[in-house]
Structure 1
């Protein structure tokens, strides 16, 4: 069993280790890194693509070309927060590059019980990348863990919640 701590600067390099699959649980409801883009969107301004966005898009396209799925599950409040409304509005771009983005209502998560209150990735079904955030939702740390109990616990939650997830397009259409 290995539990390794990484600096934020190592985030991108950790994705280079993915060989078969990547699954993301995204439950914070807001991420500080996106604050400027959210503010622009709320002001009705166009949000330009950044170099970081383009690098991510290239990465996901590469995964898809290699037949490696990238799935993301976002938790949605009722009513959605401004951040979640923005994500609903801009996620088509993620679909275009090959991400499988789905949503689950916070009420469903509460009913299913025992949901992690933190974000994580499952890489290749054998490693979990835990994302650590501060109180204002800045990413502050990364912990990669391949312990069998840790991996099994996170797979179990994925397997419980994923069948309740609504594909992005369906969620957007349901909210019109």
Structure 2
């Protein structure tokens, strides 16, 4: 097990890692929903048919501005989102928000959950994770553990070379498969 990171706001270790990476950040995102308090109002408005720009939300807007600043500085950021069939309400909302993420410079790919069986098992099980500064001496993985409701309960920082290699290989394979699939979920 890696070292547990603090994760209780923008100045904690988890958020500092996402702010201070040097070259690249990539996320494997596979939860069906997330319990993130600051998203609740926007998610509810979307589900009620009155979507609100994420830029109106202090936390989401700050994230989009951070991504834009990082990509302008030459850093890369991306992710593969695993989605269900049928897509969950939360996944639909995330697909609707892609416009802002991609305008900020993030590369977002999707993969149907049913296609995961074409890959070897994900290196950290049913967790989500960020691979930061891949291929450099500063490479690391932040492994995010969630409860059954999608609440992030623990973040570990892992620097073991075998774990980094497994994360890098899985990233390469899942990105390749998602781009061959090339299917984006409908955000309606």
Structure 1-normalised TM-score?
0.88
Q: Structure 1 residue 55 and structure 2 residue 58: aligned? A: no
Superposed CA RMSD: 2.2
Which secondary structure does the structure 1 equivalent of 2:154 belong to? strand
Distance 1:21 1:158 in 2: 13
Give the number of the structure with larger relative contact order, counting CA–CA contacts within 8 Å between residues 6 or more apart: 1
- Report how far residue 16 of structure 1 moved: 2.9
Distance 2:50 2:145 in 1: 30
What corresponds to 2:173 in structure 1? 160
- Report how far residue 17 of structure 1 moved: 2.8
Distance 2:149 2:78 in 1: 26
Q: Structure 1 residue 26 and structure 2 residue 29: aligned? A: yes
Query: Any gaps of 5 or more consecutive residues in structure 2?
Result: none
Report if the CA contact (8 A) 2:80-2:108 is conserved.
yes
What corresponds to 1:37 in structure 2? 42
- Give the 4+ runs in structure 1 shifted more than 4 A: none
1:71-125 CA-to-partner distances (Å, cap 9, x unmatched) read 1110011121111122222211111111101101111112223123110000001
- Report how far residue 29 of structure 1 moved: 1.4
What corresponds to 2:18 in structure 1? 15
Q: Structure 1 residue 82 and structure 2 residue 89: aligned? A: yes
Query: Any gaps of 5 or more consecutive residues in structure 1?
Result: none
Matches within 5 A, 1:105-120: 105-115=112-122, 116-120=125-129
Count of matched residue positions in the alignment of Structure 1 and Structure 2: 173
